[in-house]
Amino acid sequence: MSVRGRGALYRSMLAAVAVGGLLLGLPPGAAAGPGSAQDGRDGTSKDRWVESRLGAMTLEQKVGQLFVTYAYGETADDSDADDVARNRTWLGVDNGRQAVEKYHLGGVIYFAWTDSFQSPGQVAGLSDGLQRAALGSGAQVPLLISTDQEHGRVVRFGPPATQFPGAMALGASGRSRDAYQAGRISGTELRAVGINQDYAPVADVNVNPLNPVIGVRSFSGDPQLAADLTAAQVRGYQKAGTVATAKHFPGHGDTDVDSHTDLPVITHTVAEWERLDAPPFRAAIDAGVGSIMTAHLQFPSLDPSGTPATLSKPIMTTLLREEMGYDGVVVTDSLAMAGVRKTYPDAEVPVRALQAGVDMLLMPPNLDLAYRSVLAAVASGELTEDRIDTSVRRILTLKQQQGIVDAPYTDRAAVDGVVGNARHLEEAREITDRTTTLVKNDGGLLPLTASGNRVLVTGSTTAVTRSLAGAVTAQGATGTALATAANPTTADIAAAVTAAAGQDTVVVLTSSARTNPGQAALVRALTATGKPVVTLSTGVPYDIASYPQAGVHLAAYSNNAVALESAARVLFGEVAPRGRLPVSIPRGDDPGTPLFPFGHGLTYRN
């Protein structure tokens, strides 16, 4: 079936199931999902609120709703001198409250480096303060408060928030239920502290082992598995009342260029896009995803002009809106990234994005310039106010449907009982135990015997080696940590060989071994000692292609505590390895030949 045919089928299905939205795992009132064709004004009370709010807003307030940015500070009224100085440089105001009031912002985004995450109670207080600013002035519309809580490699809200090992680890479990529960738990904890939108899940299909920016952020290299888990996680987040965001449309999985620093080109044909890239986005739309994030890349088969997808009307409107039937909120990836700034000046990018069909403009490098540029485009006729209204209507509808209008504030007394509670932590442990993948086990070395076993853990940072060494000790063995550089030097390798002499077993942690050849040299040197060596990749599982002579290899997909603790349980047989490779691992010397195929994974009895 053609893309256009699928879009028509999707729209007809939505009409048929409009009253059954709760089956999609959405909050009450979100029947067909924010991206559905049911967002039209049909006279319901919610539609009347949207139209009433829209009609009461000035053009300046409407344009403000299109922007999402960050402000520094632990509170909305932060008066810390450093934060005030950074905000004045960045936004021309002192704090987040003033930024919301000045620009009538539609959303804000939190990062650790903006001082947004200090403790659950602090985050909740920041969110409530910003919502009071939004509701007390200007458009009187609550904010979309967002972050990138993908888990694994990309984490903004750290412990005590419940942590998961990330998308590719969930791909290794292969269970839609696990992806759903991870989304539901994470969404529940985010919403408890006032974060009502997560820029997750990543819907990209990682078919390129050299991909420098997606990798373990993707569920899988298999389009169907990625689609199944994307849809499940969308439902999980939105069941918890947190807007999910499928990213990066039309697909960022087959590139060896990072769009943060350059402009990638995807060379897939339309047929390849249909088969490889599109399925997870279609699945997300079918699941009622609240928003979709764009990719800053060229996709010549979808738009021969070479315009970055974020700024491409053939991709954002003809393909996503018309052919795929998506009428929800489309948000750009950060407009400060090089991938979107290489072709047009900063003043033009926001206007071109809106002309392409985008709704929300994330983190322009100069907010004041971007805001004024959109207003000037309306004044000149480059953009019409009707075009602005179309996007604002989608944004207001999303806020209404996801319950943000009815419940913009947190329940401060409940925060500590929700974030990182015992039930969530136990479920995260159980899910993670289903992800650790035993790729190779020559001689049946695993599981290890704990009693009397002195285990050297080396090959990574101090924090990571200590974390795994502690988990090894908790199993009844004696773990010793020896950190190395990310790309171990000759001195690092010599120190590790010396340390191994007094140990019974060696565990070598690797991450991105292809671009850090010292890691493979470390593995070879430690193997040559004759000590039993276990290699453990804590990022992409492709590492073993750099040291195929290793006899025992585990893939954990993450270096966070929950992943390392699961790996330790597998090392000593407390749990059997159950993960299966969600990608194919090609040979290092012959990339066209698989070293280990998709779905590979060994196990042993507990």
In terms of Cα–Cα distance, which of 388, 83, 402, 357 is closest to 239?
402
C-beta pairs of 18-23 under 8 Å, 24+ apart in sequence? 21/288
Cα–Cα dist 95/304, whole Å: 43
For residue 294, give the 3-state DSSP assignment.
Answer: strand
Query: Which position among 333, 433, 492, 543 bears the catalytic label?
Result: 333
Q: Which residue shows structure tokens 């590719």? A: 168
Amino acid at 3: V
User: What would the DSSP string read from start to end of 177-220?
Assistant: HHHHHHHHHHHHHHHHTT--EE---B------TT-SSSGGGSS-
- Find, among 337, 351, 235, the residue nearest to 296 by Cα: 337
Angle at the Cα of 359 (from 356 to 360), degrees rounded to 5? 120
Task: Say how many C-beta atoms besides its own lie within 10 A of residue 375's C-beta.
Answer: 17
SS3 assignment, position 455: strand
Q: How many angstroms separate the Cα of 308 from the Cα of each of 272, 312, 315, 322, 342?
A: 19, 6, 9, 19, 9
Torsion, Cα 428 434 436 440, to 10 degrees, reads 170
**Furthest-apart CA pair in the chain: how many Å?**
78
> What SS3 class is residue 161?
coil
The two tokens of residue 234 are 């969308």
Catalytic, 296? Answer no
The candidate with the shortest Cα–Cα distance to 73, out of 82, 83, 88, is 83
Backbone angles phi, psi at 425, to 5 degrees: -65, -40
Active site residue 260: yes
**Length of the chain as a residue count:** 606
**Catalytic, out of 80, 260, 504, 600:** 260
Positions marked catalytic: 260, 333
